[in-house]
Structure 1
């Protein structure tokens, strides 16, 4: 079974080697046919602590590393600062 990959935005980097990633999803309500947005936060392992809040990252499922951390950052795009 392939590992799931999700795309999201880093919302916190306060922990060591861990980032919190917000993943948004959109779906149509089954009865009202209106598009709904839902988001969920995932704790992901960031070995070099290179991503900061606002960066776009891709996370992949991995074996559990702690109570909350079951994802690893595989790649990301750092936010451009002007």
Structure 2
């Protein structure tokens, strides 16, 4: 199965080698037919501590690194 790749914004970089990424998902509500925005936070591995708050990044699934980290930062997303 291919690894999922998501795009989002860094909301926290306080932890060592970890960033918190906010990913937004848009979908059409099945009954109301209105576009709904849903957000979710992921903790991603950033080994060089190079990404700061506000950066747009791409994250990819990986093997568990810690209790909460199952994603790693791949690259900085093009704006």
* Structure-2 residue corresponding to 1:20: 20
Is the CA contact 1:51–1:78 (under 8 Å) kept in the aligned structure 2? no
Contact 2:7-2:77 at 8 Å conserved across structures: no
Q: TM-score under structure 1 normalisation?
A: 0.92
Which 4+ runs in 1 deviate beyond 6 A?
none
Go from structure 1 to structure 2 and tell me whether the alpha carbon gap of 1:3 and 1:78 turns closer, same or farther (over 3 Å shift).
Answer: closer
Aligned partners of 1:4 and 1:33: how far apart in 2?
A: 27
Shift of 1:78: 9.0
Structure 2 residue 39 is the aligned partner of structure 1 residue 35? no
Query: What residue ranges of structure 1 are gaps of 5+ in the alignment?
Result: none
- The 1:78–1:12 alpha-carbon spacing in structure 2 relative to 1, beyond 3 Å, is farther
Match of 1:4 in 2: 4
Give unpaired runs (5+ residues) of structure 2: none
Kindly report the root-mean-square deviation, in angstroms, between the aligned alpha carbons of the 2 structures.
Answer: 1.5
TM-score under structure 2 normalisation? Answer: 0.96
Distance in 2, matches of 1:45 and 1:63, equals: 11
How many residues align? The count is: 79
Structure 1 residue 28, shift from structure 2 partner: 0.5
